[in-house]
Amino acid sequence: MNCEQVQQQLAVAVLDPSQALPEQDLTAHLERCDICRSALQEWTAVGQALQELPERPVPPAARRAVLQHAHQAVSPAANSVWAWLREWLLDWRNPMLPIFMGLLTTSVFALVLAMHMDLSLLPPLGLTLAGAMWTGLFAVVFYLFSVGMRQREHSWRFLAQTALVAIGIFFVITVFSPLPHAVRFCSNFSLTQPLMERLSIGGAYFVFGVLYSLVPMAIGAFVAAGRYAQHPVLRSSMAGGVFMLLLAPAIFLQCAPFALGVVLGWFGGAMLGALVGGVLGYWARHRLVRQSIEMYLFL
């Protein structure tokens, strides 16, 4: 038996003692071979170091989550309709979930828009197509989110999460102050009237478009940027693009009765606001917050 064969056997025997060589053969070889003797000492040291790696306890949150799931799975309530529905809604592998969420979100948002404008002004076919397109876009974004959750694809999850948070905030703002109302209010308000008169109507919609997408997008990026480190500007801009895709139908629906200049002004402003807001939100999360924590700790 040559040295290489002996060393191979010694290495595997350190891991699995049942693989040890017959003692007579081994002793005879080790007595006359310094290299193998030294190798045995090193294998043993490596094996011991592996054995002594520290063991951590299971984090309590993980333990709670697993045991809670175990309880729910076998509880009598697990067979109820409500439990089935909850399971269905929380299962990221469910292929119907993004479609359902797309339909639900579109319905809610269409309802919000209908509260502020007369949707009957639009042709029924156009309205149906816009609704279908919107549902599809939302379904794709929810699909990205579910893939992110399922496969721990943080980049996709961030992308979808940012856009969804931003569009949600945009609609909350729209409920309280729809953009056309805000433009009209500022045009009549004595303090802002001179400024609004200098801007054309398209310019006014551009400025408000920037604000109405920058704020939600910045908040969305701030909220979602927690576990996101690589290529922040590129990915924040991509998230801004996804947000714009979701926002575009809302803009066109609200602008349908207006002139083309208004539509283009709002759309261009929203696009600029979405891109700047994404980068700004990310930057705020990673620079300002970190700096303030460091300052707090330092003081």
Partner 1 sequence: MPQRSDEQLMRDYARGDVQAFEALFRRHGQKIYNLFLRFSGDPQLAEDLLQECFLRVIEARDRYRSENAFDRWLITIAINLLRDHHRRSRRRNEKTMSEEPVAPDAGNPAGTNPQLDLERRYLQDAVQKALLSLPAEQREVILLSKYYGFSFAEIADMLNITPAAAKQKAYRGMLSLRKKLAYLKEQDT
Closest CA to 197 of 209, 211, 183: 183
CB of 23 to partner 1, least distance (A): 19
From 57, 95, 124, 194, residue interacting with partner 1 (rule: CB under 8 A): 57
Indicate whether 229 belongs to the interface with partner 1 (CB under 8 A).
no
Using the rule CB under 8 A, give the single segment among 71-79, 118-126, 214-222, 271-279 that binds partner 1.
Answer: 71-79
Which H or E element spans position 90?
helix 81-90
CB of 244 to partner 1, least distance (A): 25
Q: Is the dihedral of CA 86, 89, 94, 99 positive or negative?
A: positive
Indicate whether 70 belongs to the interface with partner 1 (CB under 8 A).
yes
CB of 201 to partner 1, least distance (A): 47
* Of 56 and 198, CB closest to partner 1: 56
* Cα–Cα distances in angstroms (integers) from residue 118 to residues 59, 146, 173, in the given order: 54, 35, 19
Tokens of 207: 């400025």
Indicate whether 234 belongs to the interface with partner 1 (CB under 8 A).
no
SS (H, E, C) 232-254: HHHHHHHHHHHHHHHHHHHHHHH
In whole angstroms, what is the distance from residue 22 CA to residue 144 CA? 58
From 3, 50, 132, 195, residue interacting with partner 1 (rule: CB under 8 A): 50
Binding residues (CB under 8 A) for partner 1: these are 8, 11-12, 14-16, 18-19, 39, 42-43, 45-47, 49-59, 61-63, 65-67, 69-71, 73-74, 151-153, 155
